[in-house]
Each structure stands twice: as structure tokens, then as C-alpha cells.
Structure 1
Amino acid sequence: MITMEDIIRDGHPTLRKVAAEVAMPPSDVDKQILSSLLEYVINSQNSEISAKYGLRPGIGLAAPQINVSKRMIAVHLTDDKEELYSYALFNPRIISHSVEKSYLQSGEGCLSVDEPIPGYVQRHARITVKGVNLEGKEIKLRLKGLPAICFQHEIDHLNGIMFYDYIDKQNPFKQVEGAIPIER
């Protein structure tokens, strides 16, 4: 089971590396790592389990955040219609995106960043993601709202990009013209 001690913090060199593709079919070790990423995110949202193990709640986690530089992410969240998005993916990639932008009104956070970093993070409002699930099946997801933002955040981790790289240093809360504000 992954704990907060397993999650590397901002400044660690692995967080700035481009992660390696996972060979298909995935090894048992890679399947176990991906499974444990999803398990952490699910457990972190359960108040009893998170209190017992000292887990910080999160909606997504990428393998580089546990110092494994491979292209694996896990996401577990509900959208504004209470639809559940619970996915563990090998080699996820964004295959298309909208020109229209969106951002979280409350700003983004990250399990690898201990302090809050205020500001708007511009993301694509809609994306299509392809990846391979734990069963080895290729899946394609069309996403918008919070799920789209979360997937972009986690896929950025696979490319060595941190959320605060997108925040305008001079004007962190600069309104993004025509962008859709997303409430969390």
C-alpha cells in the first residue's frame, strides 16, 4: 500500500523527467504499481482509511510521484453530475483537445506539493484520452470539466510538467478570456 512517505516531493528530479513508455503487455510488477496508485487515490478519499494511515486526499496520482518514471496514472473522482471516473491507465495520451480552455476556480493542488500555490491553471476544456487499462484493453475517454482537468494534470506528470508551471507569475489570478471556470 502506498502511503504519504512513498510520494516524492516537489524538487525531486524524477518529477521533472519524461517518463518511459510501459512495455505491452505490462509486467506483473507494472500491474501491481498501477493497481497501488488507484488503491491510494480511492483510500485517500475514505475518511476512516485516510485518518488511520495519514493519507492526504487526492483525486489522481501518477507513477513518477512515487519515484517510478513510467507512464502510468490513476484517477478516481466524480464529475458535477456525480458520475464516477475511476481509471488506472498505462501509457495514457491526449489524442485530441478543444481550443476552448477551462480552469479550476479554487486552483489546483498536488500530492507532491506540500504548500498551496494560488493561481489559475489553464487547461483544455475537453480532451480525448487513450490508454490501456489493467485488463490490457485499450480504452478511449472523452472528458470535460473536472475529469478533463485531472487527466491533464496527471498526464503532465508523465512529461515532467508541474501544475504551477502554467500559473502566470505576474498575475496568478488573471482571467482567462473565454475560459470555463470549474467549481470543485
Structure 2
Amino acid sequence: MITTNDIIREGHPSLRKAAEEVAMPPSIEDKETLNSLLEYVKNSQDPETAAEYGLRSGIGLAAPQINVLKRMIAVHVTDTKGELYSYALFNPKIISHSVEKAYLTSGEGCLSVDRPVPGYVPRYARVTIKGMDIDGNPVKIRLKDLPAIVFQHEIDHLNGIMFYDHIDQDKPLQPIAEAKPIER
């Protein structure tokens, strides 16, 4: 089981490296890693389990954040309509996206960043993601708003990109022109 102590923090060189594709079919070890990523985000959202194991709450986690440089992400998030998006994916890719941008009005946070980073992060408002599930079966997901933002954040980790790399350093809290503000 992954704990908060297993998550590497900003400044660690692995967070700035591109992760490798996962060979298909996935190995038992890769499946276990992917499963543990999803287990962490689920457990971190359960108040009792989080308190018992000292887990910091999160809605997404990428393998590079536990110092595994492989293309794996887990997301467990509910949209504004209450629909749950719970996915553990190998080799996720954005295959299409909207022209329209969106951003979280509260800004973004990250389990690998222990400090608040004020600023709006421009993201695509809608994305289509392709990847492989835990058994190596192809998955295609259309996402918008918060779930789309979370998947983009986690896929960035696979490419060595941190959320604050997208923030306008001169005007971090200036609303992003023609972008949809998303409340969280």
C-alpha cells in the first residue's frame, strides 16, 4: 500500500523526467503498481482510512510521483453532477481536445507539492483520452471540466511537467481570457 511517505516531492529529479511506455500485456508488477495508485487516491478520500494511515487527500496520482518512471495514472474524481470518474490507466494519451480552455478558480494542488501555489492553470475544457486498463484492454474516455483537468494534470506528470509550469508568473491570478472558470 502506498502511503504519503512514498510520494516524492518537488525538487526530486524523477518529477522532471519523461516516463517510459508500459509494455503490453502488462506485467504482474506493473498491474500491482497501477492498482496501488488507484487504491491510494480512493483511500485518501475516505476520512477514516486517510486518518488511520496519515494519507494526504488526492484525486489523481501518477507513477512518477512514487518514483516509478512508467506511464501509469490513477484518477478518482466526481464531477459537478455527481458522476464518478474512477480510472487506472496504462499509457494514457490525449487524442483530441477542445479549443476552449478552462481553469480551476481555486487553482490546482499536487500531492508532490507541499506548498500552496497561487495561480490559474490553463487547461483544455474537453479532452478525449485513450489508454489501456489494468488488463491491457483499450479504453477511450471523453471528459470535460474537472475530470478533464485532473487527467491533463496527471498526464503532465508522465512528461515531467508540473502544474505550476503553466501558470503565468507575471499575473498568476488574472482570469484566463476566453476560458471557462470551474468551481471546485
TM-score by length of 2: 0.99
Alignment partners' CA distance in 2, 1:178 and 1:147: 20
Alignment partners' CA distance in 2, 1:50 and 1:182: 26
Alignment partners' CA distance in 2, 1:20 and 1:27: 14
Counterpart residue identity of residue 181, structure 1 = P
Alignment partners' CA distance in 1, 2:20 and 2:137: 20
Extract structure 1 runs of 4+ deviating beyond 2 A. none
Residue in 2 that maps onto 1:166: 166
Deviation at 1:135, TM superposition (A): 2.1
Residue in 2 that maps onto 1:151: 151
Residue in 2 that maps onto 1:94: 94
Given the alignment of the two structures, is residue 105 of structure 1 paired with residue 105 of structure 2, yes or no? Answer: yes
Residue in 2 that maps onto 1:122: 122
SS of 1:57's equivalent?
Answer: coil
* Alignment RMSD (CA, Å): 0.4
Counterpart residue identity of residue 142, structure 1 = R
Residue in 1 that maps onto 2:71: 71
Counterpart residue identity of residue 115, structure 1 = R
SS of 2:14's equivalent?
Answer: helix
Alignment partners' CA distance in 1, 2:164 and 2:97: 21
**Equivalences for 1:36-55 in 2 at 5 Å?**
36-55=36-55
Counterpart residue identity of residue 86, structure 1 = S
Deviation at 1:88, TM superposition (A): 0.1
Q: Give the length in aligned residue pairs.
A: 184
**Equivalences for 1:173-184 in 2 at 5 Å?**
173-184=173-184
SS of 2:150's equivalent?
Answer: helix
- Unaligned segments of structure 1, at least 5 residues: none
- Unaligned segments of structure 2, at least 5 residues: none
CA-to-aligned-CA distance 1:47-92 (integer Å, 9 cap, x gap): 0000010000000000000000000000001000000000000000
Residues 25, 135 of structure 2: 8 Å contact kept: no
SS of 2:85's equivalent?
Answer: strand
